[in-house]
Structure 1
Amino acid sequence: MAVEHPPAAPSTPGDQTRIHNIGYRSYDGPRLGRGYARRSLYSQSLRGAYGLGRSAKSKVLPMLLFAVMCVPAAIMVAVAVATKAHELPLSYTRYAIVMQAVISLYVASQAPQSVSRDLRFKTVPLYFSRPIETADYVQAKFAALASAMFILTGAPLLVMYIGSLLAKMGFAHQTKEFAQGLVAVALLSLLFAGIGLVIAAVTPRRGFGIAAVIAVMTISYGAVTTLQAIAYNQGGSSSAVPWIGLFSPVTLIDGVQSAFLGGTSASPGGVGPSSGQGVVYVLVTLALIAAAYGLLMRRYKKVGL
């Protein structure tokens, strides 16, 4: 008996459905590895610290703060050249201390931008799914923000140095002071970047991170300078002024440069640390930088799980 088969379904006009078995092919290209991934993350984070590669709105604040840092230096240079002065009105080591409010605002705005978004959108585990480890992520972020801050604080010093040479000030003297100023802002950049990133890495909310960094920087500086002023006005307690300066990032850097980098202390009465106290300042600064790195490593080992 013949078996009848159901009629085949008519093909729909325009139906070009095809199944292609192309198989899986292994990747034969170069494997760039962890070093390339770390450098790429560093470059992307550094660019992001100035809004490069992001929206125009993201460029406004960092570029504005960069201009605010450089304009006073340019004005000082113009005055020095016009008046044929023999010395700049403000030393290289004092410039960052005077502009510390702008620097604090910059790190408060850019530290959360660097790490808070990764936490908020839970993209950190995606980084670690590639050939990159916790140390690579932390090192790239830390180095990027420190580099961005070094550009922010070093650029006005470069403007002052070029201006001093144009005003025909002593080349050897200006070069020495310029180098001392660069060492000071390099330490400041590492310290501020570490503190800012540790605070920002605690919360995925960028607004909370900004407020927390500003509070830590501002309150610590205000409290320390107030206590220093009280101790100095007490007369017999003026010896306590340098020790009080250990409890604020700004006064800590000020003490290091006044002890070893030829700077003058911004503390009340210009009471800076002695050489022995200066060693303590350096050790505390380095310990805080190392502690910031350690805390970031501990934080991201948990986040990457």
Structure 2
Amino acid sequence: MRKIKKIHSAEYRPIADLITYSPLPTRSLQMIDPFLFLNHHGFQTYPPHNNGLPFGPHPHRGMETVTFIVEGDIMHKDSSGHESVIGPGGVQYMTAGKGLIHAEVSSSEFKKEGGDLEILQLWLNLPASKKMMTPNYIGLQKDEIPAFELDERKIQVQQLFGEWNGVKGAFEGTFPITMSTVYLQEGAEFTKEIPEDENIFFYIVRGKLDVNDTHVAFRNLVEFQNSGSALNIKAMEDSILILGHALPFNEPVVAQGPFVMNTQEQIYEAYQDYQEGKFGNWKG
């Protein structure tokens, strides 16, 4: 079995009135190449006539975002002309590439009516050869994402990237990556083989799992060694797991604010390009 290196608890980092926890990066873990950053917003319940998510227009370059909507909704709009509102169970995949401006806010309906909200955003690095690629965005609702069942229907898997159990993911990644959202009923169990040379992203959104004979609760990220290939997962409670794996890039990473590049000079250039309007025109 793949050996666990360390279990990292998400740190509490509220943003305005938005409950937020982050297990990556922290003082104990900078990144799991090529997985850079995770914010876990909620669970919380918004009252009617709320302000919703606080992420107004802001730029990005050199990375990608994968956004998981567990409860509530998120309205995406960017300077490349993409716009959508994605609801519970849906996923958004955005490639910032050479640069764009986007906003991630709640829909007018959610701000008027209120409701439950739980949303996670994962940042993926881009290899040096693709950091200046053309930006792209795809938002899919729950019923547009390929899914399959395991363990006599006690496990539902949304296949986002790569292939698992003969099911191809909803998104074509810009580099080879496999990623799934796994919903497990209490008592459910599965085993998955992952090549030893691939790094694993393993974050428990809800519930509690037995991970290779180690109990891990929600809001924890499991860091694995690159030895052994099998993950054996048992659900001690109803649970939600984000499971991804990919080969590391083994390239320099220089991150500053919304930009993730390979050198400090490239960061300076990103700020200059943004200030000169090269990230596209924002239309509010």
Which structure has more strand as a fraction of its residues? 2
Do Structure 1 and Structure 2 share a fold, with TM-score over 0.5? no
Which structure has more helix as a fraction of its residues? 1
Q: So what's the TM-score if we normalise by structure 1?
A: 0.28
